[in-house]
Structure 1
Amino acid sequence: MRSAIKLTKYLKPYMFFTIIAPLMMVLEVAMDLLQPTIMQHIIDDGIANNDTEYVATMFGLMILCAIIGLIGGVGCSIYATKSAVNFATDIRKDLYETITYFSSRNKDHFTLGKLITNITSDVESLQRALTMLLKIFVRGPLTFIGAVIIVFFTARELFPVLLFVVPILAFSIYFFTKISGKLFLKVQEAIDQVNTKVQENLAGIRVVKAYNRKQHQIAQFTSVNGSLMQRNIKAGQIIGILGPLTMFVVNIGIIIALWQGAIKVDNGTIQVGVIVAFINYLMMIMGGLMSSSAVLMNIARAIPSANRIVEVLEETPEIKSARSVETTPLKGEVEFVGVSFAYNEENEPVLKNISFKALPGETIGIIGATGSGKSTLVKLIPRLFEVSKGEIRIDGMSIKKIDIQTLRGAIAFAPQRATLFSKTIEENVKYGKDDANIDEIIESLQSSQAYEFVEKLEAKEKHIITQGATNLSGGQKQRLAMARAFVRKPAILILDDTTSAVDSISESKIQKAIIDNFKESTKFIVSSKISSIRHADQILVLEDGYIVGHGSHDDLMENNKAYQEIVETQLVKGGTLDD
């Protein structure tokens, strides 16, 4: 419940809608409560006395009440919807913004499936609960209280019937609401598992097909989907019992009321209209309790969602930004001082005591076996991960003291796995620089050797990339990812094995473009191929997280056994390296 209270701050901008909606509902309820009393007078004072004029007047009053009630009901629906939708939209926006600041560790803590459920199902649950709270929850208690009071004053002879019906209904609602809250928490957890499985399978669909594991994955999804089904059925069955049970109790109350009423009418102590009105009010009481129970169940379902949302919103991002004291643009001098990094405290560090210095304009090549820590090292520069020990400095200042937007604004990073968005090629390239003009875009495409295939497309730069870039080859995706980095003209350029799917001729042209166009940029090139980094000013040879070689290509060829072994494995028939 504390989490739900914390989220009420999102209602403050829409407080007018939040207040006016229940007031409009009060108007509708008041008109509804008048209807049975008017009907009672029509029967007992009009029809019984054959007073046609009185009956017509009261019918007109009933129509007027109905119209006023309609205005109240429509107004309540409009304002409640505005309040709830805006409330949910703001929460969803903050959730998304919070998640974008999460490090990989933060995301692993929650899992992607759960985060997707937070933004979709959990927020939807809160929106639905608030809508019902502003509309139905006001109507339910007011209808119940109003009907009980009117029965007490106008049909006191039948009031004892309520003393039998109401406690049973109230206990039933409380009991089933309490159980449903626990069941819906399990339902949300099952939705997490389904979302996680779907996300995982769709991301790896090519692997699934390549290894002919379609039936295996279907079986796994069927398992989690079946678990969700079972939990939904159980929750639905519990809720389904409440409706018939409530109707049964009310029907017993109506039978008792008719039996007692018939005796009292025969004794002349009550009129027929009173019995009719009482039955109407009894149905209103049932409706009020039922609608209140529906709201309570939605609230019971929303509270676990609120807890899960607040848990994400209050998660402390591992990587925190700082106000930069730097007033001039970053030049790109990068220094690692005794840097170590582990993905979690329990595991052995991936990088161990890394120290080196890169001057502005230099090219740093990084090579090593798979798992040696090459990609991890360059991801530490833009603070995609936080170092475990040591310090990284840019222009002599710790990167922890540089505003993270300033830091990342000075870096262009092309990751090992090229990620493109379902937009046009132009929009994907401009992701690196919002205000890039068409000349800059074409220049970056030419530098990355992407223009050679882009210009052949019918829409050229306006060609739309499908979700997951399934309409591009691996090499095309890598070249577009590099173009996105090149267009930024950064102080620090990081290319993480971005030419693994590019042919040697195109790679050679890309290397020349980097030399010609990024003379002032500090360049980090991660590769498993000697040909990609042999011309670097400094080459770092990584092995098991350590730097086991550091120098130029010629120096390492003379003095470093690990580098020599890598070169030997990449020799071609002619006895030269594959350039």
Structure 2
Amino acid sequence: MSIYRRYFTKYKFPFTAAVSCVVFEALCDLLQPAVMARIIDEGVKRSQMGTVIRLGFLMMMITVLGAGFAITRSILASKVSQSFGADLRNEVFAKIIRFSEVSADRIESGSLITRMTNDTSQVVQFVNGLMRIFFKAPITFIGSIILAVMLSFKLSIILFIDVILISIFIILSMEMSYVRFAKVQYALDKVNGVVQEYLMGIRLVKAFGRFKDEKAKFEGAINDLAQKSVSSQLVIAYFSPLMSLTVNIGIAVILYIGSILFGLGEIEVGKVAAFIQYMTQILFSLIMITNVFNVFVRTKASVERINEVLDSEEDFKGSAKTLEFTSGELEFRNVTFAYPRGSGIPALKNVTFKIGKGKTLAVIGPTGSGKSTLAWLCLRFYDLQKGSITLNRRDIRAIDVYTLRENIAFAPQKSMLFTGTIRENIAWGNTSAAAGEIIRAARIAQAEEFIQKLPDQYESILGQGGVNLSGGQKQRISIARALLKKSPLLILDDCTSALDAVTEAKVRQGLKGLGDRQTVILITQRIGTAMLADKILVLENGEKVGEGTHQELLQSCKTYQEIYDSQIGGDLYG
């Protein structure tokens, strides 16, 4: 469990102090039956009241001392385990932030939420228990056996038989539990995934009236979780009573044989009573040890899932980390790319093009032609299988990925806004922007008009994902956010699809006002948007089938002609 070793050095002192308190607390518990035996044999049996009072006071002091150790270790355990939990969650979240797209594709978001919450909580509980009771159980168990043997070797034979039987039960319980508890965690992943998917598509569910189907899907996931949870708990339900029965039978046998030995004068009453108390302590220790192993099995499954996150592939690194980009000149050279964990069919095949500083390139093509993939590769969400991409004449694989993305502004096809004010969302990529710059970006993106109509204007609060805005309003804020970043390269990935033709035309006109300060890649489905660019790239089935101006492509590219005929010829643009 590498995550425990990772944090042990940081919390070594309080952890050691807590464990020391547990050891002393266990020793206090072990001393009490021995003192009680002396009270019975030396005080009560011989009618020596002074001995009873003296040993009784000693027993009370041992109890108070044990309680003090217990309080101290509980405080230390709570502080250390919660600090450990906070550090672990921070590390997991920081790792998720650095995830490569391959890692993000491999582990679903619902599963990541489970690992950040349920799995980390399980680990925190284990750390807390480790410092509170997990060390106490084996110490009490071993100590009780040693002291019991010292009291009577003959009675200890029964004790050894009990311990062997219970050890077998514990081993069987662990072997049967591990697989079941791992399945419980993955079933919980599925439940979280269903809930998350419903919440993301709640409007679509309402529009299509699919409540019954979603409810059935959730019931299926929750029933699966219930069945797997019952299966894992049945192991405990079977073995815990068996262990209790074994120990209690042992106590009954000890009482019977102890009475025989007492009649023969081989043992005193106090020692029999102390032996039974040690046997009881062994019972509770074994139950505690069983619980420890059950928690350990669950925690082991959780740790493996957390380690899977921590060991996941991170974003790509490059050698150059402090570059000044003077332009957004971009070039693709024989680029071929297929998505990892996909069908293996290339999304882009041998694509080559170049766009100069301050120019606008429109990328157009049928659905599934690789237009958005081109944007992902510019941002280096994925790496190429073949070819190269250069920005400002430098291969992007030689650039630190965060430096690369600082020099690219991006407005995605699906607008994503965050909880906060409109001002904060626009300034998200440039937090130092002045108020005038924010207003200008909103004006170019045609967002100022509707923002001014809101009660709090730029200070209006947006819900999660911008749920209180329309699709077109979210797109305009997304465009304003990308513009405000003022990066050398601006990528607009079909981010005007929810805008009407008039508003989109105004946005295009505003983009022209940028002059040669930014190179723009305009991914679009609309011929009317593409035809105004300096150059148009036409993709089909991941291949470049045309490149040139609007007039050139009308003469030379069949795919472009078909798109033109379907839109302009069909009078879609008037």
Tell me which of 180, 184, 191 is aligned to 1:183. 180
How many angstroms apart in 2 are the aligned matches of 1:439 and 1:559? 45
- Cα distance, 1:390 vs structure 2: 1.0
The amino acid of 2:413's aligned partner reads: Q
Paired with 1:572 and 1:563, the residues of 2 have a C-alpha distance of 12
Amino acid at match of 1:284: Q
Q: Tell me whether 353-362 or 76-85 shows the greater mean CA deviation.
A: 76-85
- Aligned: 1:556 with 2:549: no
Asked if 1 retains the 8 angstrom alpha-carbon contact of 2:323 and 2:403, the reply is no
Tell me whether 1:88 sits opposite 2:88 in the alignment.
Answer: no
Match of 2:64 among 61, 64, 67: 67
Q: Do residues 323 (structure 1) and 356 (structure 2) align?
A: no
CA distance in 2, matches of 1:243, 1:233: 15
Match of 2:329 in 1: 333
**1:145 deviation in Å?**
1.0
Residue equivalent to 2:300: 303
SS, match of residue 378 in structure 2? coil
The one of 429, 436, 440 equivalent to 1:439 is 436
Query: 2: distance between equivalents of 1:479 and 1:349?
Result: 32
Q: Which amino acid aligns with 1:388?
A: Q
Q: Which moved more, 1:295-304 or 1:280-289?
A: 295-304
Within 2, Cα distance between the matches of 1:249 and 1:518?
A: 86
Residue type at the aligned position of 2:239: L
In the alignment, which residue of structure 2 is the partner of 1:34?
A: 31
Distance in structure 2 (CA, Å) of the matches to 1:65 and 1:442: 73
Which shows bigger deviation, 191-200 or 281-290? 191-200
Match status 1:154 vs 2:151? yes
Indicate conservation of the 8 Å contact 2:322/2:403, yes or no: no
**Post-superposition offset of 1:142:** 0.5
User: Match for 2:8 among 4, 8, 11?
Assistant: 11
Aligned equivalents of 1:325, 1:112: Cα separation in 2: 30
3-state SS of 1:455 partner: helix
Give 3-state SS (helix, strand or coil) of 2:35's partner: helix
Which of 118, 125, 128 is the aligned partner of 1:128?
Answer: 125
Q: Distance between the aligned counterparts of 1:36 and 1:330, measured in 2?
A: 82
Distance 2:73 2:39 in 1: 30
Please give the secondary structure, in 1, of the residue aligned with 2:528.
Answer: helix
- 1:23 Cα deviation (Å)? 0.7
What is the 5 A alignment of 1:41-440?
41-317=38-314, 319-324=315-320, 327-344=323-340, 346-440=343-437
**Which moved further from structure 2: 196-205 or 405-414?**
196-205
The 1-side partners of 2:191 and 2:99 are apart by 22
- 2:482 is the counterpart of 1:485: yes
Between 367-376 and 37-46, the greater mean CA deviation after superposition: 37-46
C-alpha displacement of 1:214: 2.0
1:506 equivalent to 2:503? Answer yes
Mapped contact 1:103–1:384 kept (Cα < 8 A): yes
Distance 1:512 1:404 in 2: 32
Letter in 2 for 1:332: G
Instruction: Choose which of 526, 530, 545 in structure 1 pairs with 2:527.
Output: 530
CA distance in 2, matches of 1:452, 1:44: 94
Q: 1:211 is matched by which residue type in structure 2?
A: F
Could you tell me which runs of 5 or more consecutive residues in structure 2 were left unpaired when the two chains were aligned: none
Measure, in 2, the Cα distance between the counterparts of 1:286 and 1:202.
49
| Partners of 1:489 and 1:518 within 8 A in 2 | no
Q: Distance between the aligned counterparts of 1:130 and 1:325, measured in 2?
A: 39
**Structure 1 residue 572, shift from structure 2 partner:** 7.5
Instruction: For residue 461 of structure 1, give the secondary structure of its aligned residue in structure 2.
Output: helix
Matched, 1:494 2:487: no
1:39 deviation in Å?
Answer: 1.7
Deviations along 1:20-76, one digit per CA (max 9) or x if unpaired, are 211110111111111112222222222233333332332322222222212211222
**Match of 1:416, SS?**
coil
Query: 3-state DSSP class of the match of 1:485?
Result: helix
CA distance, structure 1, for counterparts of residue 568 and residue 509 of structure 2: 22
Consecutive unaligned residues of structure 1, counting only runs of 5 or more, are none
Instruction: Give me the TM-score of the superposition, normalised by structure 2.
Output: 0.94
Corresponding letter in the other structure for 2:337: F
- Amino acid in structure 1 at the alignment position of 2:402: Q
Does the C-alpha gap of structure 1 residues 156 and 544 become closer, same or farther in structure 2, counting only changes over 3 Å? closer
What RMSD over aligned residues (CA atoms) do the two structures have, in Å? 2.2
Q: Encode CA deviations 1:88-146: one digit per residue, 9 max, x unaligned.
A: 33333333233333333322223333333322222222222222223222101100111
Shift of residue 552, structure 1, vs aligned partner: 2.0
Deviation at 1:160, TM superposition (A): 2.7
**Cα displacement string for residues 516-572 of structure 1 (whole angstroms, at most 9, x for unaligned residues):** 235310011111112223221111122222222212223334444432332232238
Q: Distance in 2 between matches of 1:456 and 1:418?
A: 21
Give the Cα separation in 1 of the matches to 2:146 and 2:462.
66
Cα distance, 1:6 vs structure 2? 6.0
1:299-324 per-residue CA deviation (whole Å, 9 max, x = no partner) reads 1122222223223322334x521121
Distance 1:566 1:246, change over 3 A: same
Aligned partner letter, 1:36: P
- The answer (yes or no) to whether the contact 1:496–1:525 under 8 Å persists in 2 is yes
Residue 289 of structure 1: CA displacement? 1.5
| AA aligned opposite 1:49 | R
Cα distance change of structure 1 residues 555 and 259 upon mapping to structure 2, 3 Å threshold: same
Q: Counterpart of 2:95 in structure 1: which amino acid?
A: T
Distance 1:202 1:325 in 2: 39
- In structure 2, the residue corresponding to 1:441 is in which secondary structure? helix
Are 1:467 and 2:464 counterparts? yes
Taking only the aligned residue pairs, the percentage that are identical comes to: 37
Give the counterpart letter for 1:342 in structure 2: A
Mapped contact 2:325–2:392 kept (Cα < 8 A):
no
Moved more, 84-93 or 501-510: 84-93
Letter in 1 for 2:159: L
Instruction: Name the aligned partner's letter for residue 379 of structure 2.
Output: P
Checking the alignment, whether the CA contact within 8 Å between 2:490 and 2:518 is kept in structure 1 is: yes
Change (3 A) 1:260 1:325: closer
Q: Of 527, 536, 541, which residue of structure 1 is paired with 2:538?
A: 541
